[in-house]
Copies of this chain bind each other. A is one copy, B any other.
Amino acid sequence: MSTTLSPTPRTQVSRGKNRAVPDRERLHAFLGDALLAHLGVTVGSGEDAHPVVLPTAYGFDLDGPDAGGSLYLHGSVAAGWLGRALERDVCVTITELDGLVAARSGFHHSMNYRSAVVIGRARLVEDPEEREHALALVVDQMIPGRWATLRPATRKELAATAVLALPLVEASMKERAEGPVDDPADIESATWAGVIPIHRVAGAPVTAEDSTAAVPEDVVRRAAGLAERSPR
């Protein structure tokens, strides 16, 4: 596999080129680190076409059958966006906010973040083995190791769940991870400049009222792992 991303004109980062991260390994590390995706689907047609952007969980398999590896999404077979997501190209954007960048001027205020944009035609996953594997990856993206501790999915559950795969080939990644970049004329000003680091942390796991089991290792690890993530 190529170690650099292959942006097409659609994913080519046109603004802030210095923020583009042309390194597949860093994209993969980021995909492993993040928790939430936003799926953009075009609905309507002609002049009425407009995007709908929905938050969603995701999983990914670099050895999946799609070019560049497979990004997996799932949803209810009854979801309104599902048919639309298969008819036209979609965009999946995964972003983690890492800091608030306070410059001397309003103009240079910014955010530190990592963001991956994947564009392509989604494939409805129909192979039973790949479907289960994809659902396991989505659950394990949230809590690594969790799927193996669960009972198998039932036929009814699988029938109610649609699994989509998006090739990771048409992908770009941007990262900003630095302090404010002020105009030289502003540096001497008395205005403070710097970064407020932002990161996600997990609180202690909250056991469901009707659950009598001890908190399992995978959940403890996930909570601790998020809590230990260092500020960027």
Contact = CB atoms under 8 A, between A and B. Distances in A.
Interface of A: 10, 14-15, 35-36, 38-43, 47-55, 57, 75-76, 78-80, 88-93, 95, 97, 100, 102, 104-107, 109, 111, 113, 115, 117, 119, 135-136, 138-139, 142-143, 146-147, 149-151, 153-154, 157, 160-161, 179-180, 186-187, 189-211, 213-216, 219, 222-223, 226, 231
A119 to B, nearest CB: 6
Contact of A50 (B42, B142, B147, B149): B42
17 contacts: A15-B75, A15-B76, A38-B38, A50-B89, A53-B91, A53-B117, A54-B115, A55-B115, A100-B202, A104-B151, A105-B150, A107-B157, A179-B209, A193-B207, A193-B213, A196-B206, A201-B201
Given A35-B198, A51-B40, A226-B198, A100 B179 contact: no
A190 B213 contact: yes
Contacts of A14: 79-80
B192 A203 contact: no
Nearest to A226: B198
Nearest to A78: B15
List 3 tightest A-B contacts by C-beta distance, closest first: A40-B51, A197-B203, A203-B231
Contact of A205 (B54, B97, B196): B196
Given A102-B143, A142-B111, A192 B213 contact: yes
A161 B194 contact: no
B203 A196 contact: yes
Given A197-B203, A222-B196, A36 B95 contact: yes
Given A55-B93, A194-B219, 10 more contacts: A38-B38, A52-B91, A97-B200, A106-B139, A107-B157, A179-B206, A192-B211, A193-B208, A194-B207, A199-B201
Nearest to A108: B157
A202 B232 CA distance: 10
A54 B93 contact: yes
A210 B181 CA distance: 10
Contact of A215 (B194, B197, B202): B194
